[in-house]
Amino acid sequence: MNRPLSSVLSAGLRAGAVVVLILLLYACSRLNTADNKDNVSKNDSSLVDPGQKKSAEIESDTLKSADLPAIIVYQGKPVKVMSWKDKLGDNLLLLTETGEFASADSAEFSDNRDSELHVYHYVRQGTAWTKIATVNDQINSCPVDIVTRFIPGALFITDLNADGVAECTFAYHLTCTGGVDNKVMKLIMLENKNKYVIRGTTSVNIGGEIPGTMKYEAGIPERFKVFMIAKWKAFEREHYN
């Protein structure tokens, strides 16, 4: 039975309208999904406290030894000078190494030498500089090879607990050895007048791994300890070809 042309056209228009409606609904659905993703992304980022992102970062500057105030007294040769500002005031951190020099007993034992390294933390409030922390370490009467050096790149100025007072973290080697051995290593954090220490030895790879050791002191705040252990692991390994 033949249907009138008008009836066929009407049915076609209705079908076309349905298709258009479905396409519009689908497009709206995709837009809503995209908006929701953006909102989720924004919400996720808002869950991170901006203060937490910045809490571990203290803006610091590297100075030359010639920039040190005349009142700053030190032993050895400066290898690193850092400055920054925090709640304590203007800060200076000075790392020095003496190099080798004759031991007190070198008249009797001519091969014996000493070597030292030093760390000084000064704070200025007003016009007065005050020394608030020092670290002194040394090798004495060593007749073989001496290693007393700060590890390059292992110096960090942070505020991990976001209390407005910076922590200074550094690491160094300290060894008297006659061969390729595990070196004594120390990683120290200074916070105001507090000192936290990890001690141990480096791990050495001379074709096979000779593992090192690590021991941290009791009483290190957990956030500091996590940071210090991570830095220890980053610098503990030595390679020899």
Q: What is the pLDDT of residues 26-57, one digit of tens each?
A: 554 554 444 444 443 333 333 333 334 444 77
Size (the chain), residues: 241
**CA nearest to 116, candidates 103, 133, 99, 102:** 99
pLDDT at 184 over 70: yes
What predicted TM-score, i.e. pTM, was given to this entire model? 0.75
Confirm if 200 and 238 have CB atoms less than 8 A apart: no
Lowest mean pLDDT: which of 20-24, 66-70, 88-92? 20-24
Residues 6+ apart with CB under 8 A from 213: 182, 200, 201
Question: Phi and psi (nearest 5°) for 108?
Answer: -90, -35
Model confidence at 95, in pLDDT bands (50, 70, 90)? Answer: very high
Question: Average pLDDT for residues 104-129, to the nearest whole number?
Answer: 94
Q: For residues 99, 104, 105 and 107, what is the CA-based torsion angle, rounded to 10 degrees?
A: 90
Model confidence at 209, in pLDDT bands (50, 70, 90)? Answer: confident
Residues 6+ apart with CB under 8 A from 40: none
